[in-house]
Structure 1
Amino acid sequence: MTLAATELAFRAASVALLLVLAASLLSDFRNVLAARLGAAFALGSAAHAASCSIGVSSLVPIWHAPLIALSTGNIVVFWLFTRALFDDEFRLRWWHGLIWAAVTAFSFVGCLWIAPGGNARFSVTAVNLIVLGFIALAVVQTIGSWSADLVERRRRLRVVIVCAAALYGGLNALLQILVAFSASDVADTVNTGVLACIVAAIAYAMLRVDGADLFPIAPEPAPAIAPIQPLAEDSDQKLIDALMRLMADERIYRQENITIGVLAGRLRIPEYRLRRLINQRLGYRNFNVFLNNHRIEEAKAALADPSQAEVPVITIAMDAGFQSLGPFNRAFKAVTGVTPTEYRRLKTSAA
């Protein structure tokens, strides 16, 4: 088999796998944001598989330019996908679309005007620096939210998706910057082969994980004290009772930068066991949501208290453990459906 035929086979296999993965996500979880972003990432990756090349030319065929542009813009989708996949409270904003459009448009302009105008090196370098930047953002935010994730299978999947995609994307970007104008056909064949293997590994890993672990059908439980599942082991029940005492009596959620490791240390149990208890027994998928719901319960009581009617909302938020007003307002509205100020007014009117 010739190099050209081998490269074509690798591209076809990658595109086919990615299209199947996109169709599967849309079929089973079309109403879940993370799944829709995952499908969009798979489709963008299919465009990359069809158009990727280490070796580049200053003259790009017109039909090829849209694929390259979509492939470049897909790094923004990857960033958004990693956020939505591991943060159940993440929501798309209008400016996310603007970022994607700007990156895609810059790549398209680079293919048709900047590179043919004698600035091919600038165009390739700029595009790949953008790619590296978004890969860095995805890795940093994934590491930063790692400890708060309570779904064990989803935590393991982070390693596969983020490391595999970031490693391939980072190396591909660096190679294009360094050897784009001197790469051989062998390099392109190896590149497509590595991509096919990575796509297969990600698809296999995602299909092995229960969809309910990855994509919640129902929102997080709103009450701070979630319903406890029956028939617990005595040891588990004692730990849950001790955890609830820390929350209700000591109000440990008020501590600045409280982590699940600190809480596990107070209970004298391993982190993994505390994760399992909060996730499987109390119904939470994220440690920060668990903490915030306790904080919001305290804030609700303060806002409904006539004797605290003149206390500023930000003071109540800070006393409950929030570090700033913006996250408090968003978390409060997500749980109650109204802003803190509206909640206080409603309670005052009802009194």
Structure 2
Amino acid sequence: MIGVGACGWAWLVTRALFDPAERDARWARLVGLIVALSGALSVLAPAGGLIGRVADNAYALSGSTALLLTFVEPFHRHGRDLPGAEKGFRFAFVTIYAVLVAVSVMGLRAVGEGPDEALRDDLAKSACAVVGLAALLVAVRFRQGHPLAARTAATPRRAPTEDDARLAERLRRLLVDEAIDSRPELKIGDIAARLGEPEHRVSQCISTALGFPNFNRWINHHRIARARRMLADPDERRSILEIAFACGFASLGPFNRAFRDDVGTTPRAYRSTTRASLGAPGDQAANQD
């Protein structure tokens, strides 16, 4: 009776691993409860009766929904700014869960109904249960060491500590001394490895001590600041595309979008306005993209 609710339990656990937001989750608990109760009732009710058929249908619908949602939860707030370890964890979770589902739910459908086949069916499901529980313990241990920060308006931002301030100064020195923001393929994992710090610590420092929502916003802010200086320099003859490359952008499109988000105008308009205010003569070659 407890085991038939496994799809509901798996979904609730997955939500706890990948959805850190503090919000009302009664509907999720309700779905889990429906899966458990309808599954238990389908076991207890007489076969072929009205109650049994209703319970079977409710269990099939709610269980399938919970099963699919379990695959969806790891992609909650999945973005490019996620640390590499977090991306690998989510990929491993989905892969292991998919294999367990394929073996225990789908692969055994083709097994016959003889006593030997039934024994193999029980052994395979038991093995999947053991592997699933072991993987769950590993997943919980990983999440304890790499907690997800809730991004809700009602949750106040944690005040930076002295350790955050020291790490923030090391990040600033990387920008000044090594110009790391000029590397187009730079990732937060590269920064963490360079400083010998966990990725989640670097991400936490960027959001608390430096005041940026994520790594990409922080690094692009400094890239755009460099681009603004170059665009305003009347002696700068490089094109906008060349300036984008020099500032660490791999192509013109992301540079234009990041510049507009940070400055409120396009690089071309910014250069024309700033150079005009300085009385610098226009340079048609430099204005070409």
TM-score using structure 2 length: 0.53
5 Å-filtered alignment, 1:96-175, equals: 145-146=83-84, 155=86, 159=89, 162-173=91-102
Q: Which one has more relative contact order, counting CA pairs under 8 Å at least 6 apart?
A: 1
What are the Cα deviations for residues 257-287 of structure 1, in whole angstroms up to 9, with x where unaligned? 3456765787xx5244983765664355754
Distance (whole Å) between structure 2 residues aligned to residue 11 and residue 322 of structure 1? 52
Per-residue deviation, 1:146: 0.9
Structure 2 counterpart of 1:28, which letter?
E
* Contact 2:249–2:255 (8 Å) recurs in 1: yes
1:313/1:9 CA distance change after superposition, 3 Å: same
5 Å-filtered alignment, 1:21-40, equals: 28-29=22-23
Per-residue deviation, 1:322: 0.9
What are the Cα deviations for residues 36-90 of structure 1, in whole angstroms up to 9, with x where unaligned? 9xx98x969x979x89xxxxxxxxx876775576467547624632xx15x386x
Structure 1 counterpart of 2:270, which letter?
R
Structure 1 counterpart of 2:249, which letter?
F
Secondary structure, aligned partner of 1:322: coil
Indicate yes or no: 2:188 matched with 1:257.
Answer: no
* Contact 1:165–1:198 (8 Å) recurs in 2: no
Distance (whole Å) between structure 2 residues aligned to residue 76 and residue 14 of structure 1? 11
5 Å-filtered alignment, 1:1-351, equals: 8-12=1-5, 15=8, 18=11, 28-29=22-23, 66-67=61-62, 70=65, 73-74=68-69, 77-78=72-73, 80-81=75-76, 84-85=77-78, 87=79, 145-146=83-84, 155=86, 159=89, 162-173=91-102, 178-182=107-111, 184=118, 186=122, 190=126, 193=129, 197=133, 201=137, 213-217=148-152, 237=166, 241=169, 243-248=171-176, 250-258=178-186, 269-272=195-198, 275=202, 281-283=209-211, 286-303=214-231, 305=232, 307=234, 312-336=239-263, 338=264, 340-341=266-267, 344=270, 347-348=273-274, 351=277
Per-residue deviation, 1:290: 3.3
Distance (whole Å) between structure 2 residues aligned to residue 321 and residue 214 of structure 1? 28
Identity %: 23
Structure 1 counterpart of 2:22, which letter?
D
Bigger Rg, which one: 2
1:346/1:76 CA distance change after superposition, 3 Å: farther
Q: Give me the CA root mean square deviation.
A: 5.6
* Contact 1:47–1:70 (8 Å) recurs in 2: no
* Contact 2:182–2:247 (8 Å) recurs in 1: yes
Secondary structure, aligned partner of 1:318: helix
1:210/1:347 CA distance change after superposition, 3 Å: farther
Per-residue deviation, 1:215: 2.5
Distance (whole Å) between structure 1 residues aligned to residue 22 and residue 73 of structure 2? 20
Distance (whole Å) between structure 1 residues aligned to residue 205 and residue 241 of structure 2? 32
What are the Cα deviations for residues 193-252 of structure 1, in whole angstroms up to 9, with x where unaligned? 4598479759966996897x432346xxxxxxxxx958569xx75x75564344235423
* Contact 2:244–2:252 (8 Å) recurs in 1: yes
Q: How many residues align?
A: 243
Distance (whole Å) between structure 2 residues aligned to residue 265 and residue 206 of structure 1? 19
Per-residue deviation, 1:320: 0.5
Per-residue deviation, 1:313: 3.5
With 17-26 and 165-174 compared, the bigger mean Cα shift is at 17-26
Distance (whole Å) between structure 2 residues aligned to residue 250 and residue 286 of structure 1? 21
What are the Cα deviations for residues 90-114 of structure 1, in whole angstroms up to 9, with x where unaligned? xxxxxxxxxxxxxxxxxxxxxxxxx
1:75/1:345 CA distance change after superposition, 3 Å: farther
Secondary structure, aligned partner of 1:169: helix
Per-residue deviation, 1:321: 0.5
Per-residue deviation, 1:341: 4.5
Structure 2 counterpart of 1:270, which letter?
G
* Contact 2:184–2:248 (8 Å) recurs in 1: yes
1:330/1:202 CA distance change after superposition, 3 Å: farther
Distance (whole Å) between structure 2 residues aligned to residue 300 and residue 311 of structure 1? 13
TM-score using structure 1 length: 0.46
Per-residue deviation, 1:318: 1.3
Per-residue deviation, 1:179: 4.1
Distance (whole Å) between structure 1 residues aligned to residue 161 and residue 16 of structure 2? 38
